[in-house]
Amino acid sequence: MKLPVIRHIQRHATEDAINQTISVLESISEAPSLKEEELDTIGELISNLCGALEVKEMIAGGMEEKDACNAFMKKVIGSIDR
């Protein structure tokens, strides 16, 4: 996950647009002809989009953007440490 990408997406895309993009990428990922590298790229894109949704939700809940991004990354890092 890349925080600058997540921040850019959450600033410039609506929740509906993000959800539609995730849906399209998930559909594409089921194509049997995809190479492992292509699947990895799609997975990274989906992860960033999901991260943007989470940050967007925290901001909608009243959190400042900086705090929402930091909270999200702490959550991600915490899940990696387990």
Q: Is the distance from CB of 9 to CB of 48 less than 8 angstroms?
A: yes
Q: Is the distance from CB of 3 to CB of 69 less than 8 angstroms?
A: yes
Residue-level pLDDT at 79: 82
Residue-level pLDDT at 57: 97
Q: Is the distance from CB of 75 to CB of 50 less than 8 angstroms?
A: no
pLDDT of 18-46, one tens digit each?
999 999 999 999 999 999 999 999 999 99
Please state the rounded mean pLDDT for residues 4-24: 98
Question: Is-above-0.85 flag for pTM?
Answer: yes
CA atoms of 54 and 73, how far apart (whole Å): 11
CA atoms of 8 and 33, how far apart (whole Å): 31
